[in-house]
Amino acid sequence: MSRVRVSDELVKIYLSGKVTPKSFYGVEDLVEALMSLGKRNFIVDMRKVTHIHYQIGKSIEKMENELSLLGGELRVVCNNPYLLEIMRFATGEPCPPIYPNIREARKNL
């Protein structure tokens, strides 16, 4: 399950529940479409996620790298130690930057 808020300067993607590769394809497609429209700053809020497949971490890292090449940023909001470990397993370290809340993630965007 996901919800999206788009403003002039920021796209916030709210994920919840169990996130599988199949359920994340729509998010990836949406990010690509918004990038093609010039959006460059994204926050993925995972505070209501109960589980992610490790491939999601790799997908988030790939999106972060693509945005970085375009001068943008992708930041993750997550305060669940279990999910953080899955992200570390998938990417080797927390990449992209992970923040405990949206206010911290928005700073310096």
| Model pLDDT for residues 44-75, shown as the tens digit of each residue | 999 999 999 989 988 999 999 999 999 999 99
pTM over 0.75: yes
56 CA to centre of own chain: 9
Domain coordinates in residue numbering, the chain:
2-106
Identify the CATH number of the domain defined by range 2-106: 3.30.750.24
